[in-house]
Structure 1
Amino acid sequence: MTSMSTKARGTGAAGTSVLPEVPDPSQVAPKDARQLSRLFFERLATLEEGTAEHQYARGTLIEMNMSLVRYAAGRFRSRGPEEMEDIVQVGMIGLIKAIDRFELSREAEFTSFAIPYIVGEIKRFFRDTTWAVHVPRRLQEARVQLAKATEELQSRLGRLPTDRELSELMSLPEDEVREARLAANGYNSSSLDATIGGSTDGEAVLQDFIGTEDAALELVEDFHSLAPLIAALDERDRQILHMRFVEELTQAQIGEHLGVSQMHVSRLLTRTLARLREGLLTLQ
């Protein structure tokens, strides 16, 4: 862990913890960051937004927990160093959202709370900005160059240019021009209702040739997303979920086991399931 100054940050009200100064928050070890984060969250909850101390506490929390973003982004390391920079930046947005929404009263580790926000933000980035089919960055850039060259030559020649003419203007080999043209097909996707071979009534459509969704695969992703949300619940709520959906006990049996009424068990289950549902919706 990086060394901390003994100088306190801010005066603090009576009975209120005073924040220590952390010279380089980004160098704090993850284990120490977990302990320090709790102290900063406690103080952040008492500070007025917009004040210098609030900005210091919030900024320090962001820097101390950047390792969570790097950890989550590591799942997508196969996308290359250029795209990884974008992924980390997007993950930081998820981290900031998690910090602004986290409450110590949840009695959960901030790590378990933040990871779904970070991963969810990265997935949204892929959904909103990537190509229909992923192609190498060099071909994505070549597609833009190809479109400009094609428009220029078509205007000049009055016809569609050949690959040779395009390669001369773009200063690229003909095979790369053809490869860029082929890659451009991955930029847009077609509707599943698009007909094959024309618009004749009764013609087969694309969706007729696509397999059905595998519900089991969807469950794997749902379970993966649910895991940190369940881990953030308190022990009693997790116990009730286990008895209801793993042991398959009735609400009356659960109430008898816990020494509470069936109605109380029903309220607890409803509250817990609503919380999990809300958590999943934030990741979509």
Structure 2
Amino acid sequence: MRMCCKNFGLQLARQESARILPPGSGFADDQLPGSHPCRQADFTTPWFRHWMDQLGLQPVYHRKLWEYAYIAQTLHACGMLADGRRGVGFGCGVEPLPSLFAALGCQMLATDAPETPEIRSAWAETGQYTTALESLFVPGIVDRERFLCLVETGRIDMNSIPDNMQGYDFCWSTCALEHLGTLERSIGFILASLRTIRSGGVAVHTTEYDFSPGPTTIESGPTVFFKRHSIEALVPLVAEAGGEIIGLDHGLGDMPLDRHLDLPPHAPDLRDRYDAFMAQWADAHPTPNLKASVDGLPVTCFGLAIRKR
């Protein structure tokens, strides 16, 4: 039954791939995505196609790709991706965003967890842990000399961001904050990240989101999940910290793949179907999907965009 469901999902994704714009036809407009779950409609936009082209990635219905495009488009629409802008990334691992932002002229501090096994285990086990500046450099996105000039790395405990880490134009994290041990710590990180950016700056974070109707979820352990009520509880907390959540919308989408829930197993060997970069993610994100059953819970990604007043 599970394999029938997975095969159906793959066939549905192939059928729906015609909705994704062809190479070279995308463009980064001024559309601000807002704060919402991963939805199929975003994959059909000019901005999704544009950022996939800029990253040199084959666009498929994969929520990791959505995270990259969502973060880039949000920062672009807010005027953050320009020469001289300064950004800091948290839990960057081996993601391509520092290379992309450097190509656009931004000065970047790409950080990862300190050398403590308790904090980094969730990333290190899946090859997503930054070990050197070179591991963040993606040929084809940015010139190597430009990259080395604009990007530096650092070790930052996301549970304890230094008080003197301030003045950046923007900050971001890509599904990293759910690995801090508890939901309370994840919320604490979101609020603390606002201290790193200036007034008018933007914070963009993606995280795991449990959209089941019940009130309970996993709130402690290697990976925790946000729910609608925990996202809504952030609104006054963010306001108190001097920020405003942009365009909050909990809609899950109404297109075919928005209604498909991928079931375990999530680890077939699909490396040969990925390009060179996505092969690095094969263990952590092996099966392209927008929504999946994880520990019996329906889960997707949620994008959170915050503007600091």
TM (norm. structure 1) is 0.20
Tell me which protein shows more strand as a share of its residues: 2
Tell me which protein shows more helix as a share of its residues: 1
Rg comparison, structure with higher value: 1
